[in-house]
Amino acid sequence: MEETIIKVGTNYMDFVSKFHRTIRAQKIILVYEGEITQTITKAFTSMTENNLDDAIDSLKTKKRVYHVMVECLQNVSKHADDEETGEPVVPGRGIFMITNNEELYTITTGNVVSNDKIATVKGMLDKFNSLDTTQIKVEYKKMIKESRLSEKAGAGLGFIDIVKKTGNNIEYYFEKINDNSSFFIQKSIINRD
């Protein structure tokens, strides 16, 4: 029987090979790009559970990974904007990655945001990143109380919750796409216990 060889462009095959090596080198246990829905969030939670090392990770670490993962996915789902117009889109679309090494987990998300929102998002993140543990707890309680009174007061609650749960600053980056929008990357680190 003659062997059939399917030819695919060399550039594409090279991309796949490099992508695979990058995933292994960066210890990425999950990567996804697309719409972020409740169904996708549940699937990621299940897949991540299967990839966490029961022998190494404490229940506390696992709970923090799940909590931060869900919070990050909800942020993308609720706050992603359209690349061309900068207007909100539902469900949100973005990228999601979890990496795992001997000392920590990293959860990274990326989504399009309107350029009009950048200053507000930066302001919140810089504020929360500058607070110590006691100040974070006080600000978090204040924001929870205010969010019960108005939906707008809850803006940034997800960010402060992540800083509170992880004990680490949120790293972030904005890359301009066009006059209406930018790509927002958020990185959260969860230390292993």
Region 10-23 average pLDDT: 90
Residue 32 lies in a domain: yes
Residue 3 lies in a domain: no
Residue 108 lies in a domain: yes
The C-alpha angle 36, 39, 45, rounded to 5 degrees, equals: 90
Who has greater pLDDT, 100 or 108? 108
Residue 8 lies in a domain: no
E strand or H helix at 119, and its extent?
A: helix 118-130
CATH of the domain at 137: 3.30.565.10
* pTM of the predicted protein model: 0.87
Region 55-84 average pLDDT: 88
**What are the tokens at 22?**
């990058």
The reported pLDDT for the residue numbered 101 is 84
Q: What is the residue type of 181?
A: S
Residue 15 lies in a domain: no
Region 43-66 average pLDDT: 79
**What are the tokens at 8?**
């695919």
CB 105 within 8 A of CB 166: no
The reported pLDDT for the residue numbered 17 is 92
Residue 167 lies in a domain: yes
Residue 6 lies in a domain: no
Residue 179 lies in a domain: yes
Enclosing domain of residue 96 = 24-191
CB 178 within 8 A of CB 84: yes
The reported pLDDT for the residue numbered 44 is 87
The reported pLDDT for the residue numbered 57 is 72
**Confidence grade of residue 1 (pLDDT, cut at 50, 70, 90):** very low
Domain count of the fold of the chain: 1
Of 193, 154, 150, 130, the closest CA to residue 71 belongs to 154
Region 32-37 average pLDDT: 93
Residue 5 confidence (pLDDT) above 70: no
